[in-house]
Chain A
């Protein structure tokens, strides 16, 4: 029996999809409305899934406070009410598609995981909804699956 615990978080942020080396017409053709020069925003939903054994005494896999602290510090503090293109260093040369946002979040959580979460747990999956109509999942249990 394999157990996975998922906690849902939310953040509101703006972004613009644009590649500097392409012309305005090419960017517009590639990204459509998402290329609007002044940007636009979303209420993102972030699900962080954790795999590991359930403690037989407490019935819990981990203390939810530890995950909340990690996600707040490593993700939400930088993403919440920010302009992703301008405020986040990872996106200076990286287009903030939700694919790339998901991978950056997985990378950030992976880097801080061992110092914040019990050694028995592992980051299993990142799920990001850009809107209620599209969602993106990164399986973090497969080695190198988070490499762009």
Chain B
């Protein structure tokens, strides 16, 4: 069985590789390479899998999942500059792919409780672009 919980955070970022020229960065990242950055209202969908506990009827207490998402993602990333304030994006380019991968790594280890495991995350950078990460 799968359960999905949603969260939102707003953050700024810019996508540039320091060793590349301005022209090359704009070619790779388009307007995401604007040196002064820009922002998004990210929407995060976190899906866990597992079998409900026969006594409680729950896979995982959703209060706990809410707290994990809050502690690992929303609190550190909401209203922040990802490049300046959220490691590893001081040296890893915060593309939607990399932000989604980092969120997967942060949540996977915390969600692993008795019955539940992280099944999939989906990060919407805009309403037209999303990245899903799941176990291989």
A59 touching B128 by the CB < 8 A rule?
A: no
Known: A54-B101, A60-B95, A60-B97. A1 touches B133 (CB 8 A): yes
Interface residues of A in 1-27 (CB under 8 A from B): 1-9
B97 touching A5 by the CB < 8 A rule?
A: yes
* Contact count band on B: 20 to 34
The interface residues of chain A lying within 8 Å CB-to-CB of B29 are 58, 60
Q: Which residue of A1, A7, A54, A59 is within 8 Å of B135 (Cβ)?
A: A1
Q: Which of A61-69, A111-119, A139-147 contacts B (4 or more CB under 8 A)?
A: A61-69
What 0/1 pattern do residues 107 to 136 of B give for CB contact below 8 A with A? 000000000000000000001111111111
Q: Give Cα distance in the complex from A5 to B97, angstroms.
A: 8
The smallest C-beta distance from B98 to any residue of chain A, in angstroms, reads 4
A6 touching B130 by the CB < 8 A rule?
A: yes
Chain B residue, CB-CB nearest to A5: B131
Known: A1-B133, A4-B132. A65 touches B30 (CB 8 A): yes
The smallest C-beta distance from B68 to any residue of chain A, in angstroms, reads 18
Q: Is B62 an interface residue (CB 8 A)?
A: no
The smallest C-beta distance from A1 to any residue of chain B, in angstroms, reads 6
Q: Which residue of A2, A3, A57 is within 8 Å of B17 (Cβ)?
A: A57
Q: Is B93 an interface residue (CB 8 A)?
A: yes
Q: Which residue of B93, B129, B130 is within 8 Å of A59 (Cβ)?
A: B93
Secondary structure type dominating chain B contacts: mixed
A2 touching B136 by the CB < 8 A rule?
A: yes
Q: Which residue of A1, A49, A65 is within 8 Å of B101 (Cβ)?
A: A1
Interface residues of A in 26-85 (CB under 8 A from B): 49, 54, 57-61, 63-65
B94 touching A59 by the CB < 8 A rule?
A: yes
Q: Give Cα distance in the complex from A13 to B101, angstroms.
A: 37
Known: A58-B28, A59-B94. A3 touches B100 (CB 8 A): yes
A4 touching B129 by the CB < 8 A rule?
A: no
The interface residues of chain A lying within 8 Å CB-to-CB of B28 are 58, 60, 63
Q: Is B104 an interface residue (CB 8 A)?
A: yes
Chain B residue, CB-CB nearest to A63: B28
List 12 additional A-B contacts (Cβ < 8 Å) besides A3-B101, A58-B17: A1-B133, A2-B133, A2-B134, A3-B100, A3-B133, A4-B134, A5-B129, A6-B131, A7-B128, A8-B127, A57-B17, A60-B97
Binding site for A on B (CB under 8 A): 15, 17, 28-30, 92-98, 100-101, 104-105, 127-136
